[in-house]
Amino acid sequence: MTKQEVINQIRQAKMGHKRWVSYAKALHLGIPVDKNAVPMVETECGFGKWYYGDATIFSDLDSYQAIEQPHSMLHNQYMQLYKARKQPAKSGLFVSSKSAGKQKADKLDKMMGQLLQVSEMLLESLKEFENDVKNMSDVEISRLV
């Protein structure tokens, strides 16, 4: 595997991540999303398959290791958003249905904001990882394969 092939894989992983976030945005907006389109487990998404598969040859790099936490956090945020989106707004004796709907919408907005912040952290970690790979020689990379 050459350095350019690895860089291409990293860029594909970034695109896959951005596609995944677009599904989360659609869910947030109430657009029906196939449950299978956005895997909840970090090892099952396209990005996770790459990260826990081919990319593990770089597991000694700090920049590689820095990707795992935001990636895991992102899936956790999505799972929370998914569950909250599926729950009906709770009105009752002291809360009108309109007020309950607003509270739920505010909660979902906050959760989506948190998901997007974690997404940015992940993209920043990927950028650093890509820079580290760019600074490696083809010989260094071929030794890892």
**Per-residue pLDDT reduced to its tens digit, 49-60:** 999 999 999 999
Q: What is the mean pLDDT of the chain?
A: 87
Q: What is the pLDDT of residue 132?
A: 96
Name which residue leads in pLDDT, 99 or 49.
49
**Average pLDDT of the segment spanning 17-27:** 89
Residue found by looking up tokens 């952290």 in the block: 121
d(CA 15, CA 74): 15
**Cβ contacts of 112 within 8 Å, gap of 6 or more:** 24, 25, 28, 81
Q: How far apart are the first and last CA of the chain?
A: 7
**Is pLDDT at 140 greater than 70 in this prediction?**
yes
